[in-house]
Amino acid sequence: MSADPAQWLIRCVVSGGATRPFLSKLAREMGVWDFFFTGSRSAVADHSRTRARVVQFIENEEFFIVVPDRRLAEVMEFCYVQLKIGSPGRGSLYVTPVERLSPFIPPLDHQD
């Protein structure tokens, strides 16, 4: 692995449903188009003897951005400020060199 990675993967997990407007702003203002977005929604239920009711919906969205080394700090700061990651419970931001990511490749003698 080289000392200076050329590409970085930014993984951001955000709660609250603010990702879609953010990604369009990221593309327009920063010119970053290499991203993947996924979202999930779950419900927390309150179960009692007489009834079951939904108490709260929890929505988490996750997106991945691939950025070159020279723009890493700029894009990270943009994500941090625009998504208000510094607020408690708002989300988290992870950065990994692309060189460290390796997909699982099954052995040649692997049988289904």
pLDDT for 94:
92
pLDDT digits (tens, 9 = 90+) for 26-70: 888 888 888 888 877 665 555 665 555 555 666 788 889 999 999
What 3-state DSSP class applies to 92?
strand
> Is 112 within a domain?
no
Q: Is the pLDDT of residue 92 over 60?
A: yes
Facing residues of 59 across strands?
41
What sign has the CA pseudo-torsion 104, 105, 106, 107?
negative
pLDDT for 75:
92
| Count of the separate structural domains present in the chain | 1
> Is 16 within a domain?
yes
Spatial separation of the C-alpha atoms in residues 10 and 35, rounded to whole Å:
9
Mean pLDDT, the chain, as a whole number?
79
pLDDT for 42:
61
Question: Distances in Å between the alpha carbon of 21 and those of 26, 63, 83, 103, 106?
Answer: 9, 13, 10, 30, 38
> Is 29 within a domain?
yes
